[in-house]
Chain A
Amino acid sequence: MDMLSNLSFGFSHALTLNNLLFCAAGCTIGTLVGLLPGLGPLATISLLLPLTYSLPTDGALIMLAGIYYGAQYGDNVSAITMRMPHASSIVACIDGYEMTLKGKTGLALFTAGMSSFIGGTIATIVLASLAPPLSQVALMFGPTEYCALVLLGFLCVSLVTTGSVLDGLAMCLVGVLLGLVGTDVNTGTLRFTVGLPSLYDGISLVSLSLGCFGIAEITKNLDKDRQASPFRGTIKLMPNWTEFKRIIPSALRGSAAGSLLGLLPGGGPVIAQFAAYAVDKKFSKYRDEIGQGAIEGVAGQAAADEAAARTSFIPLMSIGIPENAVMALMMAAFIINGIKPGPTMITDHPDLFWGLVASMWIGNLFLVVLNVPLVRYWLTVFRIPYTALFPSILFFCCVGTYSVNNSLEDIYTTAFFGVLGYIFFRLSLDPAPLMLGFILGPILEENFRRAMLLSHGSFATFVEHPISGAILGVVALIFAWQIWAGFLTRRQPDKESGDEPRGAIRGAAR
């Protein structure tokens, strides 16, 4: 019953008036911004990050987490009503949008809200029971283990986010290099600053993510022809009993798949949605209807989405290694607010950790209360024409960048990465691994240097330590399997049908 007492301790922190307000504010603003076309969770978090600077630490973390799952949920809503995901709710576009076409938007949104709640609740329990023991294990990790974990993370992210592993790895490495720009902490040498004083402290995180995920995304949308939403404004929200009964089993399956996949390196909401969808297609009683607007097609993926969004906090908070781009951004946000996520976070700041866990469940409740009855008002966001919307988003990107350091020069950096992100998009390179590399680059360098210092320059140290050796073994296995798979597909160039999910991810990343 240790967990229960810890959770009640957490609730006592999360239920103070201030923290409740921060949680509610985070969820509301996150949902609102997440609804806007062209802004996914990454852009939303970086846009709203400056808002948390002046808050107390626990409030700031609670609000950031609220922004994250609010944005995730808002993204789901825009996928269902507009078929406009931002690489985070691709699966919701399939059945959710079909339901909208059939005039069942309200039912789809209720299903998504309800399943998210179920998924979030289960994942919060998983988070509370798994993170503390895992952090005990992580206390044994030294620099070699951290290096190996980072490499494994790079490889897994490359596997899931882009069509080709090589593209993903390349983006991770570019990210690492960008993360090294600025003053070297060990020697004080200025690296890659190309003579610009504004780069002495490194590339601003907000500039990079708003450029790559905000500005590039807006321009991407501008290039497409826009279509009006088939959503007709009137929605019937509450399901009848037979419909309601169909939500539950699928949501439970989705929660299990999401909780598990949220834990793995490279995992997270996107891959969890695909897994849940595949599971439903195989095991659901109504599997024949999936793909044509079935409730299960929405429920499973929404639960998995929300569950994975929460369990992906586990590697971040117990080991200190983010497993995907959004968590990397979260880690940077934690550090900006004065908390270093890692094995010592739970013991050093139990009030923060348990308060955050408890607030995640409260935020979940907020999302349901806020969204299920009020969702029709949220949808008025879609009435704003894109012509009015995108210059406003540009302006908020500018203000967001500016307010970090009150410096106009930082906006040049944002514009630069906007153009770069657009070029990457045209070259079909996904910027999400770049973000992960950017955050993990300095960590990798520090641990690499330390490991080499301890081993007097011998690479054998990475294999001699059992944990890092095992992780590197997994890395080598994945690599060998990829090369082998590459040979197989070249022999059979026509056999592409079995690769559906990854092809879809690639299509959405484009």
Chain B
Amino acid sequence: MTINRDLVKGLSLLAIALFFGLQANSYPLGTLGRAGPGMFPLVVSALLFLVGSAIVVRTRIVRGDRLEFKARNIALVAAGLLSFVLLSGYVNMLVGLTVMVLISSYAASDFKLSRALALSAVLACVALAMKLGLGLQLPLY
């Protein structure tokens, strides 16, 4: 099944406009002469809604490209980042770093465990140097 990329684009923009616009509407709007916190975001969301609608309308006239999406790599990278934060918080950053390198390296087509472990060892040394040399407050251990 092919999905029209421009249609998805327009609909996503409409969703973003609604997300911000509906919240902005719940803040005090004030008057134009004395604008409240909701006024400006509401105006901008309305403009974004217009632009999004124009993009959706355009898909009815111009044939759009097919949407291609590869979920694997971005999912691995995101999972690596999340495990880095969680493990750094609950255990320490050296463990977080190693696990992140292992998970994200898996995204490369030529994954080798030994190389990933060697890389985390190198990065651990770099991190140690940054903590001791540059005085960054990294919770390494």
* List of A residues within 8 angstroms of B85 by Cβ: 408-409, 411-412, 415
Residues B37 and A419 in contact, CB atoms below 8 Å apart: no
Q: Which 6 A-B pairs rank lowest in CB-CB distance, beginning with the nearest?
A: A457-B33, A457-B32, A189-B37, A415-B81, A184-B37, A173-B48
Residues A452 and B138 in contact, CB atoms below 8 Å apart: no
CA A166 – CA B100 in complex, angstroms?
A: 38
* List of A residues within 8 angstroms of B115 by Cβ: 387-388
Give the residues from 81 to 95 in chain B that come closer than 8 angstroms, CB to CB, to chain A.
81-82, 84-85, 88-89
The smallest beta-carbon distance between A380 and chain B, in angstroms, is 16
Using known A-B contacts A167-B9, A388-B119, determine if residue A394 contacts B51 with beta carbons closer than 8 Å: no
The smallest beta-carbon distance between B88 and chain A, in angstroms, is 6
The smallest beta-carbon distance between A403 and chain B, in angstroms, is 5
The smallest beta-carbon distance between B17 and chain A, in angstroms, is 8
A353 contacts partner chain B, Cβ-Cβ < 8 Å: no
Residues A395 and B97 in contact, CB atoms below 8 Å apart: yes
Using known A-B contacts A173-B44, A429-B9, A490-B61, determine if residue A219 contacts B77 with beta carbons closer than 8 Å: yes
B132 contacts partner chain A, Cβ-Cβ < 8 Å: no
Residues A189 and B81 in contact, CB atoms below 8 Å apart: no
CA A48 – CA B20 in complex, angstroms?
A: 32
CA A409 – CA B130 in complex, angstroms?
A: 20
Q: Which residues from chain A sit less than 8 Å from chain B, CB to CB? A: 166-167, 169-170, 173-174, 176-177, 180, 184, 186-187, 189, 191-192, 215, 218-219, 222-223, 386-388, 390-392, 394-395, 398-399, 402-403, 406, 408-409, 411-412, 414-415, 418-419, 422-423, 426-429, 441, 444-445, 448-449, 452-453, 455-459, 490
Residues B100 and A395 in contact, CB atoms below 8 Å apart: yes
* List of A residues within 8 angstroms of B120 by Cβ: 391
CA A456 – CA B55 in complex, angstroms?
A: 35
* List of B residues within 8 angstroms of A422 by Cβ: 74
Residues B138 and A428 in contact, CB atoms below 8 Å apart: no
Using known A-B contacts A184-B37, A427-B8, determine if residue A391 contacts B78 with beta carbons closer than 8 Å: no
Residues B100 and A215 in contact, CB atoms below 8 Å apart: no
* List of B residues within 8 angstroms of A452 by Cβ: 32-33, 35
Give the residues from 41 to 55 in chain B that come closer than 8 angstroms, CB to CB, to chain A.
41, 44-45, 47-48, 51-52, 54-55
CA A441 – CA B47 in complex, angstroms?
A: 14
CA A387 – CA B110 in complex, angstroms?
A: 8
Residues B8 and A219 in contact, CB atoms below 8 Å apart: no
Give the residues from 1 to 51 in chain B that come closer than 8 angstroms, CB to CB, to chain A.
5, 8-9, 12-13, 16, 20, 23-24, 27-28, 31-37, 39-41, 44-45, 47-48, 51
Residues B41 and A180 in contact, CB atoms below 8 Å apart: yes
* List of B residues within 8 angstroms of A406 by Cβ: 137
- Chain A contact residues: over half helix, strand or loop, or mixed? helix
* List of B residues within 8 angstroms of A427 by Cβ: 5, 8-9, 12, 67
In the complex, the number of residue pairs spanning A and B with C-beta atoms less than 8 Å apart equals 165
CA A247 – CA B19 in complex, angstroms?
A: 54
Using known A-B contacts A388-B119, A415-B81, A419-B74, determine if residue A167 contacts B55 with beta carbons closer than 8 Å: yes
* List of A residues within 8 angstroms of B89 by Cβ: 408
Q: Which residue of B lies closest to A50 (CB)?
A: B136
* List of A residues within 8 angstroms of B84 by Cβ: 395, 398, 411
Residues B55 and A222 in contact, CB atoms below 8 Å apart: no
CA A423 – CA B24 in complex, angstroms?
A: 25
- Of the candidates A215, A223, A390, the one whose C-beta lies within 8 Å of that of B81 is A215
Residues 109-125 of chain B, each 1 if its beta carbon lies under 8 Å from chain A, else 0:
01110011001100100
Residues B16 and A449 in contact, CB atoms below 8 Å apart: no
Residues A418 and B78 in contact, CB atoms below 8 Å apart: yes
Using known A-B contacts A191-B37, A419-B74, determine if residue A394 contacts B100 with beta carbons closer than 8 Å: yes
The smallest beta-carbon distance between A263 and chain B, in angstroms, is 28
Residues A177 and B44 in contact, CB atoms below 8 Å apart: yes
B60 contacts partner chain A, Cβ-Cβ < 8 Å: no
Residues A189 and B32 in contact, CB atoms below 8 Å apart: no
CA A429 – CA B85 in complex, angstroms?
A: 28
Identify 12 residue pairs between A and B in the complex whose beta-carbon atoms are under 8 Å apart, listed by A's number: A174-B48, A187-B28, A191-B37, A219-B77, A387-B105, A391-B100, A395-B97, A427-B9, A448-B35, A449-B35, A457-B31, A458-B33
Residues A169 and B51 in contact, CB atoms below 8 Å apart: yes
The smallest beta-carbon distance between B109 and chain A, in angstroms, is 8
CA A103 – CA B123 in complex, angstroms?
A: 35
**Extra 4 A-B pairs, beta carbons < 8 Å, given A167-B55, A177-B20, A444-B40:** A391-B104, A395-B100, A409-B85, A455-B33
CA A459 – CA B65 in complex, angstroms?
A: 40
Residues A173 and B104 in contact, CB atoms below 8 Å apart: no
Residues A426 and B51 in contact, CB atoms below 8 Å apart: no
- Of the candidates A186, A222, A391, A459, the one whose C-beta lies within 8 Å of that of B116 is A391
B69 contacts partner chain A, Cβ-Cβ < 8 Å: yes
CA A395 – CA B104 in complex, angstroms?
A: 10
Using known A-B contacts A215-B81, A415-B82, determine if residue A395 contacts B5 with beta carbons closer than 8 Å: no
* List of A residues within 8 angstroms of B34 by Cβ: 453, 457
